[in-house]
Structure 1
């Protein structure tokens, strides 16, 4: 496998790790979600939000995601994710396809008796360990020779909302509202210095799902607009 494909696989696994309504913080019986992200560009002192990317997620009536696609700024599909579930709605495997429909990568899941999960890739394994007393999930990533490559820790509040992410490069703190939507995101480097701070503002529909999200970068206590996300949600 080429180095570019390996890097692309790593990027994809970081982007898409949510496979049902609950993990995506969605309320109601949702059929599909189309998300368009407009990045902020500046021209002659005017703010213009240009199309940056689009994502499409489709769900079955049980709440499991059955298709996830990402598109570039020209509307060309760049990746397609197809997951599979067993009769208990446990994720068994998922496949990534490129814009030509060629298989990029496939991951298989193995559920252990202690509740932990193993993700098997063609270039290594990820061990997902659940520490329920501490509301933590630990990801240990190994290469094909079983050498540890990197470790990630996800920390949650009592409602299941992600509030902290840690790895060797630093950590990210998330401040959420009562709906579980992220209000602030604060990134720290490995020396615990703040490297980036973001804020988010939402417009909510009658089902308490956001349909518009504004992203701001905070510099010198000033909110600088960065992007706008718009979602079209269809329901069963």
Structure 2
């Protein structure tokens, strides 16, 4: 594991488990917080699959990122989760599957459903750094934009990316840079650059981050002048 960022406090009974899905893990996800983020940069334990998802959807906080990871896990394992919607464990055990293919399904289906259900439904433990709890106010829950209520920021990204034909990954990166409060701005930039190359999009992100750095420096200098 990298020691570049401080690792969150880990409860004794959650050691070596993924913060996102509670599976055994040997990795960590480094969340690099920008100026708008409500918490400092930190690292959380993560399994390989959740790590790969989280790296593509940092969004505006670790809690928004968590929602994005759970949404993607639900999408990936929709067929496994559907087993529990269509069958009970008893029905599977009593089912009369004759061919080898369905016999294998009968033996493994309920286990696959249980694993998938646990991964998408388990709640993450509350985050703290060196014993100091992180404030979750206003983050990790629903998200509203333009009068529409979404279950999470990640769902809003998915909706607008699909509706407007936007680059979803680019919109994720923009929100990581500007924060959830500037969702409309992020969508506008994504629309302006809808046919831009990857090189141009990277430059747009660099320009936005540089502009924000100047703004934060200006705010800091104004605060010093007021003292």
TM-score by length of 1: 0.25
Which structure carries more helix by proportion?
Answer: 2
Q: Which structure's relative contact order is higher, taking Cα pairs within 8 Å and 6+ residues apart?
A: 2
TM-score by length of 2: 0.25
